[in-house]
Structure 1
């Protein structure tokens, strides 16, 4: 059987590739076994030419037979590769596998050819019902990195197996398998459409004789099933059958054997009920080393080779020039001409049939990038790999949740895109508020299409910033989430209610309440709030309560801008704040250094949270009456201060504490801070922080702040405790440096205390002080250093006529000279007489 000169279109749309067979070719006897490299544009062109020449009556393609019912969708105008067949277990959607296909995949070309010519096309690989049910991990994720047959597991991992391309490249003297493949197949042509397949089959036969299944433990079973399907097709169509499969399998399909032996290999295989559909895929996902992708490093380049067979280098470098011009780089047509000449010259020097990706990249670096590699990163990301995202028709099967999500995406004009992009939302607008609820609901379902990020503009609660990127794996996550409901809202509600019932700690259920408000899940809130109230009532650890309150406060604040009824949540938050006010003072007694630092952070977060709570009167309670307060056990050793004294003394101390209680939870919290600021058993870092918060709120007079600092830095206080008090008062990102610059008394107290710290204690407090002052802005540190160098004013009024207030108006040379001996010691120089 021969085939005369013919020309056919392979591909979709305007990117169709013209393949020409220039001379008659003798069709090999028997079925056409077309061994290919998955996602190889050279293999795809060769398959099209061989099918045109052989004109088979049936085309058998490596893939799961469950997809036979879906193959007709490949001819739909809305189906644009890259796409993938997705199979998942019905009862466990997380157990899934993909069979990706690009425009330049030989399987896709074979399917399109068969549909265009009215030829039967079927998949003949091992059914997905067995693949997904296999407990042996060697059955699952991906295949050899050279051939890349098989499905891609959900985790995208592949085992260590024989790489046929690497073996062939090494035998030919190449150290790069990709370069060997390009030189041997992608950059060469032939007038005989069957010759490449005969050569590859012969080479693979020798490799299989040496390595057997080459580490592909399930291949004998897969190949047995393929042989059974091939026998069935030959029984119906004779030898007018073409098989398009990974070249690795061709020797096994040629091998003669009995159907009985093949069926014996398939007997007893595990099964699981599966569902299958088409899903969009991306070029970026093809570049990963798993599944059919087999780690092709340049899907964008391969797509270009397939869609631009004439003058591919010229067209490629024109694309590169256009991309660089879009990025405001000066690239002209002269650059393109010189880059093409250089690429051609490099190919001749390197003995290559035509310029490949390496030659074009070197030419771009030299001509368009002036020797810099900086533009190459952009070219690799946008062109060599690319962000192409395929589409599938609406008629493809999908779980109801996927359908609802697609409807919402269309109505909200929120198109899934493979390229990462930022989305700014104004929650005062109805469409943006609905978009925000959708993204939050998907996050609650585990579909991480969007990730919240810090906004670059306004910090108001009506603004939200998201980073969106659609990945093919999200289709599996949507299928998994489909067990919770048929719509996004119903599924998110059911998921939230289930998580509330199973939440084991207060922080988890509090975060869930915040998520429900952000997602607008009003039906889920009652169950979540009941769980929240139950956990809060049972949790006696004040640190857990303090950790939970900020999330509730944020939820209340965000609820206002979303017009959500948060009355029940406000009641729970108010009760939580009350319990914190009662339990915090005894919880702060006797903490060790690490626990005190953690409590200081809790103090900050609770203070910010209470400022967001609705104000109003609360049940009055004498702040001085804290029964059993001083009998509470700390988490570590005492940080200093007397533990003696009668209860009457402590009550007197509390009544004299700054921060009068006033009305409402805010006043109650101020009273708690006042007691913490004066209680000796409270660690210095917590006392200092409490005093600073009161000072910032205007509830602590400047004189009183100076008095508290003077007490904390008195000679009777241990140096470590005094340094911790300074850390709490001015440390962190609290603007403490500016406070010291502008308040002469506070800086003078710190300076006097630091000057009087004994030598043996100074090295112990130095790390803490260094951490404290390192948090200040550079300009603030410089100003404080200049003030310290001048020293305090020895005589005269408190505010000298010149210079900073409270300090001398000129450098104190005697203080400056005191450092000279140490400098001479460090530098090894001689001290002058």
Structure 2
């Protein structure tokens, strides 16, 4: 829109669709033709000083401007840019030619302050829209309709994305892009007039809740600020001004209004810091890497780009003849890498198929829909499954941007970048599985870094189960870098300027603020895995104080596993764990002393919870290193506590039965010792449900014991056989739950043994507690039986003739 013929200069307004490759090409062509002496771009003015970094060769999109409040880094906003973003094209044009470039949107600090004031007074955002600090929107939160969708409907299309591709993205000729911008400006003018006479289409706030003079219309304020910024450029002597902004704002920026009116719209913001009702918010800005996967979600412009990989391909510079074949070649390479056979003939046929579909649908060029349909028909044999791979890897893509190390950042971010470079652990958009051998120094350092970030609530890595090998010297992590982690790093900056110092301070704070002993032990475990020696004294002191005051055996048992794991990690990493070992000794000793009283008076749910603690503590005693000193003594105390529990008849059978099984598996009881205890638990005086609970606790370790011990199998079999019918219905669910926990081979073997005719004698089916049938003793009685029956003695047929009868 040229300025000629106007009394007041009018800038060249290039209205665009954010992240549109067609708009980006049109902006590049328009700027080349206009040769402006300044370029103004919709964006946060606080980032003007960072624009020069966009020309750095190490700056590779996708990247994003991050603006966050200094006193609350969680209050932040992203402005992402890809290679196909019109704003990025405009910025690079200006920097490459030495032309001044500025951002002209309303400062993010004003939006942050407005949001804080609304939150303080519990005033909802206009129209109930999202927080612009989280999703700065080119159309504003109050605009309920998509302008592109409205234009598509006017043009007779029900699919706005397809219409936009045909009208803009697939335009082969952008030599006269001003025509496109003029058409978009006219269309947006009509839409805005239909929405309310050219206003920003933002509904007014409830005057009873907050006067409009206090909480201004954010959309109107943004456009007023942009008009004033354009006026400032003219007053500074620039005459050929180009403005790149969302197409929705073009009619508002083209309107000639007195500067006094725009300043009146911004009057509430002008009161910041001078005793007004809204506070001033100090912000910091930086560049951060972005990803195409994140761009495919809700982006900094209110709506995500559903297919950034496809848009990147459209913008990559391929001509109309080579664009489609190159796209299908990439898909073919992807399928071949995944083991799916795809030949050059498939690529040729897919190109023809897509072109035929476009012709049938009267489209200038095949779009994404046509290419995917061609892939499904030609390369996937009509199946939809393989298309998921195409969508994830190519349509969306896993591209991640890079930012120069010279970009200003919080000290913690710089230290993290240094460690990532040193350890060769670079951020990646795609999920990466990382397996570590902690015996290797470099792997141990990577583990420490990831654990420290975990303490700082920066979940770059998530622990996962190692796929190979066993032992505490192996770790597995799943790494995925999300752009939002930059905010987490900024938030964690309050704890220190380096990852080590921040993690140390954060660990001490977590220990001091922990509400339970188990939480403190988790912090202690993290301290050892993260190698934070300066935090350990504070954490250990808190741990000792909490352990001394905590008399709850369940709480002590809940805390013990993490401490024992920490001891093992300390052994692998060579960390001094003497103080932690003393705490473990004290905890286990107190558990041993209080175990039996803690099991008294428990209901069914409480007994089941205590059973879990019982197993965990028993496993911990096995993890404690054997050798001289306390570990063996502590195991002796533990087995003594289990024996006291096993011999109590007034405690839940689930726990006493489990205690007998643990002692039996540990070799502290023999099968002959366990038999009388089982027989007593299954006696007629014991209620059947209590007896079933004892059986459940005893057999919860697996069914191999019954497979190999005929005496115990006979006891269980005989007890089940004599349960009255009226009680069997109540006991059956408990038995089913018990035996369903056995492995399938165990259940099958037990079933075969119980069905065997010889099993009756072997397992004592004749009576409760009967001994196994002894064939040797039976053979000794055969001569007497033969004499009584008058028959020949056994073996008589073998005597020589003439011998004595």
Please give the residue correspondences for 1:169-188 in structure 2 after superposition, counting only pairs within 5 Å: 169-188=152-171
Corresponding position of 2:788? none
Please give the residue correspondences for 1:102-113 in structure 2 after superposition, counting only pairs within 5 Å: 102-113=82-93
Q: Is contact 1:85-1:278 (8 Å) kept?
A: yes
Corresponding position of 2:209? none
Gap runs ≥5 in structure 1: 3-27, 620-661, 800-804, 808-833
1:210 aligns with 2:194: yes
| CA distance 1:616–1:574, change in 2 (3 Å) | farther
Report the alpha carbon displacement of residue 160 of structure 1 after superposing the two structures with TM.
Answer: 7.7
Report the alpha carbon displacement of residue 140 of structure 1 after superposing the two structures with TM.
Answer: 8.6
1:746 aligns with 2:729: no
CA deviation map 1:193-217 (0-9, x unaligned): 1111111111111111222434585
Corresponding position of 1:64? 44
CA distance in 1, matches of 2:128, 2:164: 18
Report the alpha carbon displacement of residue 618 of structure 1 after superposing the two structures with TM.
Answer: 8.3
CA distance in 2, matches of 1:63, 1:552: 51
Q: Is contact 2:710-2:763 (8 Å) kept?
A: no
Corresponding position of 2:743? 777
1:163 aligns with 2:146: yes
CA distance in 2, matches of 1:132, 1:171: 37
CA distance in 2, matches of 1:267, 1:797: 94
CA distance in 2, matches of 1:225, 1:675: 80
CA distance in 2, matches of 1:445, 1:141: 35
Report the alpha carbon displacement of residue 290 of structure 1 after superposing the two structures with TM.
Answer: 3.4
CA distance in 1, matches of 2:757, 2:436: 53
Corresponding position of 1:645? none
CA distance in 2, matches of 1:746, 1:301: 68
CA distance in 1, matches of 2:92, 2:772: 86
In the alignment, which of 740, 753, 757 is matched to residue 787 of structure 1?
Answer: 753
CA distance in 2, matches of 1:333, 1:690: 68
Q: Is contact 2:286-2:408 (8 Å) kept?
A: yes
Please give the residue correspondences for 1:546-695 in structure 2 after superposition, counting only pairs within 5 Å: 546-614=557-625, 664-695=633-664
CA distance in 2, matches of 1:503, 1:473: 27
| CA distance 1:569–1:355, change in 2 (3 Å) | same
CA distance in 1, matches of 2:284, 2:109: 9
Report the alpha carbon displacement of residue 282 of structure 1 after superposing the two structures with TM.
Answer: 0.4
Report the alpha carbon displacement of residue 444 of structure 1 after superposing the two structures with TM.
Answer: 0.3
Corresponding position of 2:236? 236
| CA distance 1:504–1:188, change in 2 (3 Å) | same
Alignment partner of 1:292: what SS? coil
CA deviation map 1:538-582 (0-9, x unaligned): 111111011001111110111000000000011011111111111
CA distance in 1, matches of 2:366, 2:674: 76
| CA distance 1:173–1:743, change in 2 (3 Å) | farther
1:196 aligns with 2:180: yes
CA deviation map 1:581-622 (0-9, x unaligned): 111100101210000000000000011112223567889xxx
Please give the residue correspondences for 1:64-103 in structure 2 after superposition, counting only pairs within 5 Å: 64-103=44-83
1:132 aligns with 2:116: no
Q: Is contact 2:460-2:481 (8 Å) kept?
A: yes
| CA distance 1:434–1:737, change in 2 (3 Å) | same
| CA distance 1:385–1:205, change in 2 (3 Å) | same
Report the alpha carbon displacement of residue 680 of structure 1 after superposing the two structures with TM.
Answer: 1.1
| CA distance 1:794–1:396, change in 2 (3 Å) | closer
Q: Is contact 1:65-1:127 (8 Å) kept?
A: yes
Report the alpha carbon displacement of residue 144 of structure 1 after superposing the two structures with TM.
Answer: 9.0
CA deviation map 1:164-188 (0-9, x unaligned): 1222233333333222211221112
Q: Is contact 2:15-2:244 (8 Å) kept?
A: yes
TM-score for both structures, normalised by structure 1: 0.84
CA distance in 1, matches of 2:356, 2:127: 39
CA distance in 2, matches of 1:792, 1:715: 27
Q: Is contact 2:112-2:133 (8 Å) kept?
A: no
CA distance in 1, matches of 2:617, 2:703: 23
Corresponding position of 1:810? none
Q: Which has the higher contact order (CA 8 A, sep 6+)?
A: 2
CA distance in 2, matches of 1:792, 1:679: 36
CA distance in 1, matches of 2:531, 2:58: 34
Alignment partner of 2:48: what SS? helix
CA distance in 2, matches of 1:617, 1:248: 78
Alignment partner of 2:288: what SS? strand
User: Which stretch shifts more, 500-509 or 552-561?
Assistant: 500-509
| CA distance 1:706–1:127, change in 2 (3 Å) | same
Q: Is contact 1:437-1:519 (8 Å) kept?
A: yes
| CA distance 1:211–1:763, change in 2 (3 Å) | farther
CA deviation map 1:91-149 (0-9, x unaligned): 1112111100000000000001111122111000011211222224799999999xx99
| CA distance 1:777–1:413, change in 2 (3 Å) | same
Please give the residue correspondences for 1:218-257 in structure 2 after superposition, counting only pairs within 5 Å: 218-237=218-237, 239-257=239-257
Q: Is contact 1:142-1:292 (8 Å) kept?
A: no
1:302 aligns with 2:311: yes
Please give the residue correspondences for 1:131-530 in structure 2 after superposition, counting only pairs within 5 Å: 131-135=111-115, 136=118, 152=135, 161-190=144-173, 191-212=175-196, 213-215=200-202, 218-237=218-237, 239-269=239-269, 270=278, 271-292=280-301, 294-310=303-319, 311-530=322-541
Report the alpha carbon displacement of residue 753 of structure 1 after superposing the two structures with TM.
Answer: 1.3
CA distance in 2, matches of 1:141, 1:380: 36
Report the alpha carbon displacement of residue 787 of structure 1 after superposing the two structures with TM.
Answer: 2.7
CA distance in 2, matches of 1:806, 1:549: 43
Corresponding position of 1:14? none
Alignment partner of 2:375: what SS? helix
CA distance in 2, matches of 1:508, 1:118: 57
Corresponding position of 2:16? 36
CA distance in 1, matches of 2:690, 2:590: 28
Q: Is contact 1:47-1:109 (8 Å) kept?
A: yes
| CA distance 1:159–1:487, change in 2 (3 Å) | farther
| CA distance 1:151–1:230, change in 2 (3 Å) | farther
Q: Is contact 2:132-2:141 (8 Å) kept?
A: no
Gap runs ≥5 in structure 2: 3-7, 204-216, 270-277, 766-770, 774-805
Report the alpha carbon displacement of residue 78 of structure 1 after superposing the two structures with TM.
Answer: 0.5
Q: Is contact 1:142-1:153 (8 Å) kept?
A: no
Please give the residue correspondences for 1:787-826 in structure 2 after superposition, counting only pairs within 5 Å: 787-790=753-756, 793-795=759-761
Corresponding position of 1:728? 697
CA deviation map 1:483-505 (0-9, x unaligned): 11111111100111111221121
Report the alpha carbon displacement of residue 152 of structure 1 after superposing the two structures with TM.
Answer: 3.0
| CA distance 1:682–1:406, change in 2 (3 Å) | same
| CA distance 1:516–1:141, change in 2 (3 Å) | farther
CA deviation map 1:653-692 (0-9, x unaligned): xxxxxxxxx9611001001101111111211111111111
CA distance in 2, matches of 1:170, 1:516: 60
Alignment partner of 1:134: what SS? helix
Q: Is contact 2:495-2:506 (8 Å) kept?
A: yes
Corresponding position of 1:710? 679
TM-score for both structures, normalised by structure 2: 0.87
Corresponding position of 1:757? 723
